[in-house]
Amino acid sequence: MYSPGFRASIDFTLMHEFLPGDFFDWHVDTTPGDGTGRTLNANVMLSDPLLDFEGGRFKVGATTLRLSQGDLYIYPASYPHVVEDVTAGRRRTLVVGVVDPQAVVEPDAHKRLLAYDWQGLRGLGGRQLYAEPLRAPYWRAATANLDALAAEEPILFGAEPKLRLIHERHTAAMGRPAASDTGPHGWGLYDTAPPLSHRRAPGTAPPGTARHLAPGCP
């Protein structure tokens, strides 16, 4: 039987399915002060990259992961990542979103986690559940990662305006000066250029989907 702490640490589980033309643009899954409590992404490659699809390379920052079917890969949700265009076949991954229950402050968080899990956690030593400052070391590490990426990969940053925007918004959220609030294409972080997208011509098959696998998830 799972403990309340374990259950409350799982924000959602879902399956990402990409068909030809689908991709994930550069994005992060949490930003300072967003109240989500997100910490890690745990992914499992369900498809065989050698047999089931072409393209669809996965990158975290400047690192391209060489994945095989069944591989588990875990990375901070605050680190920029991307899935390049799938050019053929079907790419499927299992995604688990991990949270720090003590840092969740969004108003509807309790609706996505079992009530008794939260009640159980509240009884563990009377700890404060909703405390974003507890995540200060997490955000320091995320800031250092983005700063290093900007300094060490100027060509990548020059070619990917979305990365520059992510860096600027992160530094602004941390109380540091940001050059601008939009990139050269006028993109907001998730507004006019959502991370999950596709390049199919009008009238073709619909884009790949994200299928939630656990009841009560968004």
Range of the domain at 31: 4-130+191-212
Predicted pLDDT at 102: 74
* Contacts with 174 (C-beta within 8 Å, 6 or more apart), sequence order: 32, 139, 143
**What's the pTM value of the predicted model, to 2 decimals?**
0.72
Predicted pLDDT at 132: 52
> Above pLDDT 90, what percent of the chain?
40
Residue 202 belongs to a domain: yes
User: What is the identity of the amino acid at 17?
Assistant: E
Predicted pLDDT at 130: 38
Residue 92 belongs to a domain: yes
Residue 97 belongs to a domain: yes
Q: How confident is the model at residue 32 (pLDDT cuts 50, 70, 90)?
A: confident
Structural domain count of the chain: 1
CATH of the domain at 51: 2.60.120.10
CA geometry: angle 208, 22, 32, nearest 5 deg:
90
97, with CB counted inside 10 A (0-12, 13-18, 19+), is: buried
Question: Rounded to an integer, what distance in angstroms lies between the CA atom of residue 169 and that of residue 148?
Answer: 16
Predicted pLDDT at 123: 43
pLDDT in tens, 95-152: 999 988 777 665 444 444 444 444 444 443 333 333 455 578 888 899 999 999 999 8
Residue 173 belongs to a domain: no
Least Cα distance to 10 among 95, 83, 82 occurs for 95
Widest Cα–Cα separation across the chain: 57
pLDDT in tens, 51-81: 999 999 999 999 999 999 999 999 999 999 9
Residue 13 belongs to a domain: yes
| Average pLDDT score over the chain | 74
